[in-house]
Chain A
Amino acid sequence: MHLLLYVLRRIIQLIPTLLFIALVVFLLVHLLPGDPASAMLGDRALTADVNRINHDLGLDRPLPVQFLLFLRNLAHGDLGRSIQLHESVLSLIAQRLPVTMLLTAMSALIAVALALPLAFLAALRRDREADILIRGTFQVGLSMPVFYIGLLLLTFFGAYLRWFPVGGYGDTFAGHLYHLFLPALTLALSLSAVLMRNLRQAILQVIGAEYVDFARAKGLPARLVLFRHVLRNALISTVTLFGLQIGTLLGGAVVTETVFAIPGAGRLMIESIYGRDYPVVQGTTLCLAVVVSLTFLLTDLAQVALDPRLSR
């Protein structure tokens, strides 16, 4: 019951946050130089055509009126129509957001799968060859730009070894997983480096704590000490970091989706910003904000699960 109230409170808190984000995004896109008609028609646009299109789109109305209309439609679950793609924003997001979510989820899974065991290994072999090798390798991964790692992986595993497709998304769910493996790995490499370093440090701190010594002295088996006492406590800060990094992961997806030719929400957003497609920029930003906020909520819940004192 206590937990349920906590979740409810957090969800209610989300509403003003999202309204604020809606206002900021609305103002930002409308204050950018240029307008949809100019962006669409390009350099050859005649003023009469630009004015006609902007009038048809209702963009010649005062900004507050446009914002109120946007809010009214939002309250009815209507995010408007794409100016460039002539499709409803909701249906565009329904097509594109799951792609980005799947990519992000796969990256997160791969990152955790890489970071957890390697952080343990590095911590337990502190300053020995294994630790130096793991930290060194991840340092390289961390310092390389995402698009470059992506191209390296594509060239080697895609074009040279032909183990994976060179970009694209596939047609079936299995095909999606197969196509998304390399891009997910690309994104996961930098995230796992961050997680690994953080977790290794946390393990080293916890491992020297008195309660761990006590557990050992009590005669608990080493494995139990490690998982029940060391890992559980070391994970708290890493879970926070992980939650915060999901936003970064979504940001990285924008670049990765371009390099790997994946039709996701990140690419949709970038193309819409360039095209000043206001409804799509607003819609995707809002949806991504919801995703990030929900991730934060899940992160907090995970922390509560690890340390129940936090829910009080």
Chain B
Amino acid sequence: MKMTFTGAFAAALMLSAAQPSLAVERGGTLVYGRYADSLFLDPVLNDANVDIWVLSNLYDTLLLPTDDGQGVQPGLATKWAVSADGKTVTLQLRPGAKFSNGRAITPDDVVWSLERAANPKEGIWNFLISSIDKVVADGADGVKIMLKHPDPAILQALTVFNTAVMPKAEFEAEPGTTDEAKAREFAKAPIGSGPFVLKDWVHGQSMTLVRNPYYWAEGSDGKPLPYLDSVVFKVVPDDATRILQLQSGGLDGAEFIPYARVQELKKMSGINMELYPSTRVEFVTLNVRDEVNGKPNPLANPEVRQALNYATNKQAIIQIVTHGVGSPMSSFMSSATPLHAGKGELFPYDLAKAKALMAKAGYAKGFSVPLLVLAGNQDELSIGTLLQQMWGQVGVKLELQQVDNATRTDAYRKGAFSMRLSAWTDDIADPSEITSYFAYSPTIQALHSGWKNDTVDKLFVESQSQTDAAKRKEEYAKIQEIFNATGPTVPLYQTPYPVALRKDVHGFVQIPLGNNIFRAAWVSKKASN
């Protein structure tokens, strides 16, 4: 067996490394302003970031993502090993780990949770662990995961929210005849083993989490985490109001600070304007089918797509739309995504080259094309207006069509769009998820663009069961090289997560996958306002 043991010592080391050097203060409440409320706190059946990004505070997974979002660290499992053939994962459960109701976590709970998560009829995240064939208990304190094929991303998958360990008996005791009905009841007062427990939830207004007295991890002071007594999520949809509440002391932290306000908040005393590295990328998706809605489609021509890429002044967009907060992309995936490959800005602005490519493609006089923009979204509207001006230089008349999200998604899924603005954030610390959606055609025809490259499809399939890390890296480098050169997108920029915290808040982190981690957060009582 190829063993990858990580002991409690390493765990303690990682945790303490994540701590600030200040002496922590225990107790108190942290009030965090969110732009929208959660919808459904079931790890398997949820489908939105508003749930995903807070689930890890309530439910624990076997492994945890590291704060840089690139690796894994111990969670409910303290040791793990992948067999030499890559088809069996053995995990040892943390001794004494309990659910928030005080009951010990058993291998049966883990088996049931993972099988529920892997069930193709349950939710939409099962594809992340589609390699799982069977999960069995391995003695009194371990589990064995048997895979259909070697899965190089299986350890990363065991950090993802949908693989959270839930209490089988308590879940099944809920009223209802279907899994969904039970999940609905269970999610009202979830029992997990994360650092916090849901105490109170007034939909659309606030959610109160209190510390889980049975949480296993230790803080830098040698006592159990979390440091805080409670975390309150307040729903404040309006950006300006969220910032006002932060300034007036009603909030200790606020997410999704508009880029236009970042510089202002950086200069404000009493506020720490944090820009957490993220996997978020912003881009234009181009439909590359020969015909769109029954009309010939100039975007089917790779030279036209390249011309649009060269005609896009990304630096200008970054300055105007993100106020300098964003940075140019060197691949379709963010630089925070593992196995990202690419040096330097993709398609640096070159108007002469763009014009030459348009002429070569037979479109010297340009053409008209519609771009779907999210109505009411200032960033998208600004990007659209800038692209209108920039692409006008090569004769492309861009018609901005403002629609709501559901309308846009509908046109997108049907392939009945010419261009749309899009954003993406990874859910797993592995390049497979983004690549399957962007480049591997069988998933969603490469962002519903109709783009297909046989080499990319073949490389992706190989990479999905590639156990040789160096070879997998090469495969991903090649996929990115092909997609970046000929793919159906115009990459615009990558951005961090802008979060503003009061100066007395410490230890909070939003990892590149978006998860808000409060387990080591604390508030100093001697506020330095």
Residue of A nearest to B46 (CB): A40
- Evaluate contact between A32 and B406: CB separation under 8 angstroms: yes
- Evaluate contact between A34 and B235: CB separation under 8 angstroms: no
- Evaluate contact between B244 and A154: CB separation under 8 angstroms: yes
Residues of B with C-beta under 8 A to A273 = 404
Residue of A nearest to B127 (CB): A46
- A84 interface residue (CB < 8 Å to B): yes
- A35 interface residue (CB < 8 Å to B): yes
- Evaluate contact between B203 and A95: CB separation under 8 angstroms: yes
- Evaluate contact between A169 and B205: CB separation under 8 angstroms: yes
Residues of A with C-beta under 8 A to B203 = 85, 87, 92, 95, 263
- B124 interface residue (CB < 8 Å to A): yes
Residues of A with C-beta under 8 A to B124 = 41, 44-46, 49
- Evaluate contact between A45 and B413: CB separation under 8 angstroms: yes
- A76 interface residue (CB < 8 Å to B): no
- Evaluate contact between A261 and B47: CB separation under 8 angstroms: no
- Evaluate contact between B47 and A46: CB separation under 8 angstroms: no
Residues of A with C-beta under 8 A to B121 = 52
- B112 interface residue (CB < 8 Å to A): no
- A259 interface residue (CB < 8 Å to B): yes
Residues of B with C-beta under 8 A to A47 = 413
- Evaluate contact between B444 and A44: CB separation under 8 angstroms: yes
B451–chain A nearest beta-carbon distance, Å:
16
- A312 interface residue (CB < 8 Å to B): no
Residues of B with C-beta under 8 A to A34 = 404, 406-407, 409-410
- Evaluate contact between B39 and A84: CB separation under 8 angstroms: yes
- A193 interface residue (CB < 8 Å to B): no
Given A33-B411, A46-B124, does the pair A261, B236 have CB atoms closer than 8 Å?
yes
Q: Give the residues from 22 to 46 in chain A that come closer than 8 angstroms, CB to CB, to chain B.
A: 32-35, 38-46
Residues of A with C-beta under 8 A to B202 = 263
- A151 interface residue (CB < 8 Å to B): yes
Residues of B with C-beta under 8 A to A49 = 124
Residues of B with C-beta under 8 A to A41 = 47, 124
Bound form: Cα–Cα A92–B443 in Å: 37
- B96 interface residue (CB < 8 Å to A): no
Residue of B nearest to A167 (CB): B241
Residues of A with C-beta under 8 A to B48 = 40, 42
A33–chain B nearest beta-carbon distance, Å:
4
Given A44-B437, A45-B124, A95-B203, does the pair A38, B406 have CB atoms closer than 8 Å?
yes
Interface size in chain B (residues, C-beta < 8 A): 40
Instruction: Summarize A's interface: helix, strand, loop or mixed.
Output: helix
- Evaluate contact between A159 and B407: CB separation under 8 angstroms: no
A82–chain B nearest beta-carbon distance, Å:
9
- Evaluate contact between A151 and B240: CB separation under 8 angstroms: yes
- B250 interface residue (CB < 8 Å to A): yes
- Evaluate contact between A39 and B405: CB separation under 8 angstroms: yes
- Evaluate contact between B409 and A45: CB separation under 8 angstroms: yes
- A247 interface residue (CB < 8 Å to B): no
Bound form: Cα–Cα A169–B412 in Å: 38
Residues of B with C-beta under 8 A to A274 = 404-406
Residue of A nearest to B447 (CB): A43
- A249 interface residue (CB < 8 Å to B): no
Residue of A nearest to B33 (CB): A261
Residues of A with C-beta under 8 A to B87 = none
- Evaluate contact between B244 and A155: CB separation under 8 angstroms: yes
Residue of A nearest to B204 (CB): A263
- Evaluate contact between A33 and B406: CB separation under 8 angstroms: yes
Bound form: Cα–Cα A271–B204 in Å: 10
Contact check: which of A35, A166, A271 meets B245 at CB < 8 Å?
A166
Residues of A with C-beta under 8 A to B241 = 151, 154, 166-167, 259-261
Q: Identify the interface centre among B36, B121, B409: most chain A CB within 10 Å of its CB.
A: B409
Bound form: Cα–Cα A201–B187 in Å: 58
B177–chain A nearest beta-carbon distance, Å:
14
B75–chain A nearest beta-carbon distance, Å:
25
Bound form: Cα–Cα A32–B405 in Å: 12
How does the 8 Å CB contact mask read for B238-258 relative to A, with 1 for contact and 0 for none? 101100110110100000000
Residues of B with C-beta under 8 A to A167 = 236, 238, 241, 244-245, 250
Bound form: Cα–Cα A70–B176 in Å: 23
B290–chain A nearest beta-carbon distance, Å:
22
- Evaluate contact between B238 and A32: CB separation under 8 angstroms: no
- Evaluate contact between A39 and B244: CB separation under 8 angstroms: no
- B184 interface residue (CB < 8 Å to A): yes
- A80 interface residue (CB < 8 Å to B): no
Residues of B with C-beta under 8 A to A38 = 406, 409-410, 413
- B422 interface residue (CB < 8 Å to A): yes
Residues of A with C-beta under 8 A to B238 = 147, 167, 258-261
How does the 8 Å CB contact mask read for B188-211 relative to A, with 1 for contact and 0 for none? 000000000000001111000000
Bound form: Cα–Cα A92–B203 in Å: 9
A291–chain B nearest beta-carbon distance, Å:
19
Q: Give the residues from 381 to 434 in chain B that come closer than 8 angstroms, CB to CB, to chain A.
A: 403-407, 409-413, 422
Using A45-B124, A167-B236 as known contacts, list a sample of 18 further A-B pairs with CB atoms less than 8 Å apart, ordered by residue number in A: A32-B407, A33-B403, A34-B407, A44-B444, A45-B413, A52-B121, A92-B203, A151-B241, A154-B244, A159-B247, A159-B248, A166-B250, A167-B238, A168-B250, A258-B238, A267-B204, A273-B404, A274-B405
**Which chain B residues have a beta carbon within 8 Å of chain A's beta carbons?**
36, 39-40, 47-48, 121, 124, 127, 184, 187, 202-205, 234-238, 240-241, 244-245, 247-248, 250, 403-407, 409-413, 422, 437, 443-444
Listed by A's residue number, 11 A-B pairs whose Cβ atoms lie within 8 Å are A32-B407, A38-B409, A42-B409, A43-B422, A45-B409, A151-B240, A151-B241, A154-B241, A168-B245, A259-B240, A275-B406
